[in-house]
Structure 1
Amino acid sequence: SAKIKRALERLGAHPRIVRRVAVAAYEAEMNLVIHSHGGEIIAEICPERIEVTAVDGGPGIADVEKALEPGYSTAPAWVRELGFGAGMGFTNIRACADQMKLSSEVGVGTRLELYFSLR
């Protein structure tokens, strides 16, 4: 998320867009760290939009609709003790992105696609 933020700043993106993309990418990054065994975040920066995709090969999300509910969390106790895992990640991502697509398959992994309009 920090690399994406720096790239957008170097390209002269509006600070409001930089902030929205950075917050959403950070939340996605934290989900990768907490819930998967690794993955990647890819940012595609185009003149009219920014696309951020987070993909992992983790355990997957059993109930995607439930995971999207504010306050719902499956974070382990050690994560909560660090102040994370409050169940607001997807809520924050939705608030920042213009469009969000989430797909997941248990035992296969999760794909999160975020779109930000620059127009």
Structure 2
Amino acid sequence: MKFKFEIEGGNFSKAGTASSEVKKILKQLNVNPKIIKRTVVSLYEAEVNVVAHAFEGVMKVEVEPDRIIVIIEDKGPGIPDINQAMQEGYSTATPKVREMGFGAGMGLPNIKRNSDQMNISSTVNVGTKLELINYFK
């Protein structure tokens, strides 16, 4: 099964919509609740990153019998130093984003912690691509 969700940059009122939909789908498929939770935490963090930092993005979800594969691609400023961005507490969020309670610098570390596999690539002034895999067993 394949699903695709558009993510609108800057629209915090819709942040979490795609991850909520994926949660419903995984529950309907009777996926282990612990795996659902880990997956949804990763997807929510990724979705908020797109909303906070990019102009727009897309989340592509593929549910296979043994795993879920998610690719989130955005058009935005990109990440100049991925290793630095992976450090807990490092953030490039604007003061406005921080005032809303986001931008604590835990997004990418939380995604990595809650994913069985995570790959990230980014080009400055183009965008970022994040690939996540969680296995059902």
- Are 1:79 and 2:102 counterparts? no
What do the CA deviations read for 1:86-117 (whole angstroms, capped 9, x no partner)? 00001111110001000000111100000101
Shift of the alpha carbon at 1:42?
1.1
- Are 1:40 and 2:63 counterparts? no
Give, in whole Å, the separation in 2 of the partners of 1:78 and 1:108.
Answer: 23
**Aligned residue number for residue 109 of structure 1:** 127
Q: TM-score, normalised by structure 1?
A: 0.97
1:82-101 alignment runs, 5 A limit: 82-101=100-119
Aligned-partner SS, 1:102: strand
Aligned-partner SS, 1:61: coil
Aligned-partner SS, 1:54: strand
Gaps of 5+ in 1: none
Q: TM-score, normalised by structure 2?
A: 0.85
What do the CA deviations read for 1:30-81 (whole angstroms, capped 9, x no partner)? 0000000010111111011111111011111111111111100000001111
**Aligned residue number for residue 47 of structure 2:** 29
Aligned residues: 119
Shift of the alpha carbon at 1:82?
1.2
Give, in whole Å, the separation in 1 of the partners of 2:66 and 2:28.
Answer: 17
Regions of 4+ moved over 6 Å: none
Give, in whole Å, the separation in 2 of the partners of 1:109 and 1:84.
Answer: 20
Gaps of 5+ in 2: 1-18
Query: Could you tell me which amino acid in structure 2 is paired with residue 91 of structure 1?
Result: P
Percent identity between the aligned chains? 48
